Amino acid sequence: MPQRPNILFIPDPLERFNVYYDPAYADVVKVPTAKLDAAMLCIGDVAEHPAYAG
């Protein structure tokens, strides 16, 4: 596992723990969500994920 500074990393191979809406992860979630939105816009895809309102 790569080291991630200032972020608590808990291995979750079954992807059972979702912290997307956890306020403690608000800053962490913004960047990948923005990247996903930009990539989807480039290919003309329609988002099915909720917009992050943090």
Place of tokens 């306020």: 23
- 2 is a domain residue: no
Note the pLDDT of residue 19. Answer: 82
Give the model confidence (pLDDT) of 1-54 as tens digits. Answer: 455 555 566 677 787 888 888 888 888 888 888 898 899 889 998 877 666 544
Whether 7 is covered by a domain: the verdict is: no
Domain boundaries, position 54: 18-54
> What is the number of structural domains in the chain?
1
Model pLDDT, residue 53: 47
Say how far apart CA 22 and CA 36 lie, in whole Å.
19
Alpha-carbon span 37 to 41, nearest angstrom: 6
- Report pLDDT for 42: 92
Q: What angle do CA 25, 33, 27 make, to 5 degrees?
A: 25
38 in a structural domain? yes
Note the pLDDT of residue 52.
54
On whether residue 24 sits in a domain, the answer given is yes
**pLDDT (0 to 100) of residue 43:** 92
Within a domain: 45: yes
In a domain, 10, yes or no: no
State how far Cα 51 lies from the chain centre: 11
